[in-house]
Amino acid sequence: MHPKSPAWFSFPLVVVFRLTFVALVIPVALFAQASRPASVSASDEAVSLPEFRVETNKDNSYLATETTSGTRTAAKLIDLPFSVQSLPSEFFNDFMLFDFDELNGYVSNIKPADAAGAGNGGSRLRGFGMPQFRNGFSIIQQPDSNNVDRVEVLKGPSAGIYGATAPGGVINFITKKPKARAESSLEFIGGDNNYKRVSGSTTGPLTKNIFYRLDGTYYDFNRPTDWWYNRTLDISGGLVYKLGANTSISAEFAFTQRNANPFVVFTRYVDKANRTQGLVYTIPGEQYPGLGERLTRFNQAGPYNRYQRYNNSSYLTFQHRFNETWSLQSNLSYTNRHFRRFGPTSLGNWSLITNNWTGTRSPYHQEFVYEQDGAQVDLAGKFKAMGAEHQSHLGFDWIYLGQKQKTWNLTNTAAITALMPPGVTLASWQKPNPFDPDFLVRAGQPSFDSVWPMVDGSTFNLYNEEFGVFYNHMASFLEDRLVLMATGRADTYSLHRQQPLSARTTLRDATSDKKYTTYSLGLSYKIVGQKLVAYGSYGSSFDPAPSVDTNTGQIYGNTEARGGELGFKGILLDGGFSYSAAAFTARQENETTSNPDNPGGTNLLLPSLTPGGSTRSRGIGIDVSGRVTQNLSLIGNMGWLDCRTVQNLAAPTSVGQRVANSGPARKGSVAGTYAFSNGWIKGLRVGLTYYYSTENIRIYGTATSTNVYLPANSYWGGMMAYSWKIRGNRTLSLHLAATDLFNQQILTDNAFWPAGTQWKLSTAIKF
């Protein structure tokens, strides 16, 4: 059950939204057959209206010319006054980059999260967090690549068209849709680190007007970290019912189950002078041979630690074209997600003084339960007026997210000892020997019991509810050379946070109601046709990130941002190759810090927190994609990023410093494939990738510790694929791909030992 709706839910716009949804969707669904204009028809392959979908290239050129992420309706990338980069499924399937945390490295100004984290997230765009969407719907957990057709990254605070977002931009996963022609495939992949993956898909017509799609995959693999594994099952599918050429109803579902042991901890070492230094991989090898590598490979949580994720999502979409000008799309979504983590707490750092851990482990269990509901209505129109082409879009959004978090931690030594198997001492289990990892296998893991004490600060409920309405308008003038765009949006946002175990009444129940107005303005001008287009935009965004003041109960962290970009983009080489280059800046305000007038929050009469922080990000991003020649396709990027603290009332000395974990100052990558079209190797495709990033700061030090840096990385990848027809429309393919070809990666983003060169061999059949 949802908590009681907050007072703002009586906001008149909500009434408008509900009436609009009922007045537009229900009658149209009932009378769609009679309202079809005879002059408009849809192609046999199109199972959704072109106003809400884009045409994609299936010729391995990696080129995208349209997007639905910029305005939530189909628009040409060349006309949008901001940066949008699209990564098609052909690209990540070519190089077997199935984890989106790997894929994000191929977009400028993104610091990708760590693939070794098994989906724990953490990617940052232009120095800020990167909200995730699925077909325009906010999501809690990123989808599996199994059902994703392309990934679109929309940059800048002009992404406020989606409501609560970060100033760096958003990532939008566009899923595969049912097709009107029958098509099926089956693939098996095997590789290093016990990599096993089987995938299958089928799509086509069930009847003349009903089309289906079903995709499934299961994979299981390890890494060099002790006991690391990832076992994931993902099944997704959908149905489309075409009531006519201009009306359709579609339903989609996605189910993911993941069991993994990717325990993340930034283990540092304490030197002989009792000063905490960098990560353990930097322990001097000449003085302590093998220690740094062993500690980096060691999994502090042990073999019985596990992360369990269950994610169920369902979506319902209605589309209808009223006439040649106006079209409607309505969406409903529901997601239920469970996340459980069972295992011990971390061991802290490694001391060279005691030759042991600085902390002790204790049994630990954590559960998250999420429920997310959403609704959207998009009314889009295209028309001519006053000698100009116009594209108009009115949108309504509602989203609810409820999160319940419970944490148990057994710290009673007598109780822990009672759960130890015979022959295992408490001391040896609490501080295990990293050079004897098999000990933890023998020692076992205490079974979770709900009578364990719960942790106050990590046990809470959080309920968010947002309603927004926006209007977007694009107009092209001067024979389509000048395109102007403007978006205005109004949102109401409610936060309700409960910490039922807290001894402080101010923390047990806290609420916050906010109203936001955001906007974006931009233009693009074709200087030399589509070859050279200048563009610029400026916009605002908001991003509630609640922190409750322990003394007053007030909720802080509702950040707001503004920023813009100027750049050039174009399509070259007879329409086969695109580029964009942008200089950008953004500033985020109202970040929460400790109250400098109340250190430690000891004075209960004063707030313990204050909105006293601000961050500024600026940089340059360059992205290219498409076909250089008939046989050579490329996708690549270069980026420069400078993200710094410009205000922090609690720590004024941090002003001017780079923001920790915002990403490297410089990053670049390129991937290319070449398809042979002549001779005995006709049909063979080969490719290479290269990734580079500079050193970047992960954790700032204190008076008793040094800064923690993640090292610069530079490594190659490659692929080779060949396919041939075996009978009728059946195609058999062999596919070989490798990452980190020359074993050059030093450390992963979450301080895991790198996997080194990894080979994957695929056999697939399509029919």
Q: Residue 188 corresponds to which tokens in the numbers above?
A: 């098996």
Asked if residue 281 and residue 216 are part of one domain, the reply reads yes
Asked if residue 283 and residue 142 are part of one domain, the reply reads no
Q: Is 421 a domain residue?
A: no
Buried b (16+ CB within 10 A) or exposed e, 723-733: beeeeeeeeeb
What is the per-residue pLDDT for 59? 60
Q: Residue 18 corresponds to which tokens in the numbers above?
A: 């509900």
Residue 366: closest CA among 342, 337, 402, 344: 342
Asked if residue 320 and residue 297 are part of one domain, the reply reads yes
Asked if residue 73 and residue 209 are part of one domain, the reply reads no
Yes or no: say if 563 and 157 are a contact pair by the CB < 8 Å rule: yes
Amino acid at the residue 214: L
Asked if residue 218 and residue 113 are part of one domain, the reply reads no
Asked if residue 693 and residue 663 are part of one domain, the reply reads yes
Asked if residue 199 and residue 159 are part of one domain, the reply reads no
| 103 exposure class (CB count in 10 Å sphere: 0-12, 13-18, 19+) | buried
Asked if residue 520 and residue 652 are part of one domain, the reply reads yes
Last residue of a domain, one of 135, 154, 175: 175
Strands (E), 499-608: 509-528, 532-548, 555-572, 577-594
C-alpha triplet 255, 261, 262: angle, nearest 5°: 100
Yes or no: say if 551 and 502 are a contact pair by the CB < 8 Å rule: no
Distances, alpha carbon 505 to alpha carbons 509, 510, 550, 713, in Å: 7, 9, 9, 49
Q: Is 229 a domain residue?
A: yes
Q: Average pLDDT for consecutive 10-residue bins of the chain (767 residues)?
A: 38 38 37 35 55 67 83 88 92 93 91 85 89 92 91 84 91 93 96 97 95 97 96 97 94 96 92 96 95 96 93 96 95 96 93 96 95 96 92 95 96 92 91 94 91 92 95 95 96 93 89 93 96 96 87 89 96 93 96 93 93 96 95 96 96 94 95 92 94 94 93 95 88 96 93 95 95
CATH of residue 226's domain is 2.40.170.20
Q: What domain range is 28 assigned to?
A: 7-175
Q: Is 27 a domain residue?
A: yes
What is the per-residue pLDDT for 255? 97
Give the HSE-up count for residue 370: Cα atoms under 13 Å, Cβ half-sphere: 20
Last residue of a domain, one of 148, 175, 202: 175
Asked if residue 201 and residue 143 are part of one domain, the reply reads no
Quote the DSSP letter at residue 687. Answer: E
CB count in 10 Å sphere of residue 387: 8
Q: Is 134 a domain residue?
A: yes
C-alpha triplet 257, 263, 266: angle, nearest 5°: 145
What is the per-residue pLDDT for 194? 96
Buried b (16+ CB within 10 A) or exposed e, 519-554: bbbbbbbbeeebeebebbbbbbbbbbbbbbbbbbbb
What is the per-residue pLDDT for 64? 84
What is the per-residue pLDDT for 56? 61
Asked if residue 200 and residue 160 are part of one domain, the reply reads no
Last residue of a domain, one of 175, 201, 229: 175
What is the per-residue pLDDT for 727? 82
How many structural domains is the chain composed of? 2
Asked if residue 230 and residue 158 are part of one domain, the reply reads no
What is the per-residue pLDDT for 17? 38
Residue 227: closest CA among 187, 193, 267, 177: 193
CATH of residue 116's domain is 2.170.130.10
Q: Is 233 a domain residue?
A: yes
Q: Is 431 a domain residue?
A: no
C-alpha triplet 188, 190, 193: angle, nearest 5°: 150
Q: Is 429 a domain residue?
A: no
Q: Residue 610 corresponds to which tokens in the numbers above?
A: 């204050």
Please report the sign of the dihedral spanned by the C-alpha atoms of residue 299, residue 301, residue 302, residue 303: negative
Q: Is 422 a domain residue?
A: no
Asked if residue 358 and residue 458 are part of one domain, the reply reads yes
Neighbour order of strands in the sheet with 110-111? 110-111, 124-125, 128-129
Distance CA 400, CA 378 (A): 19
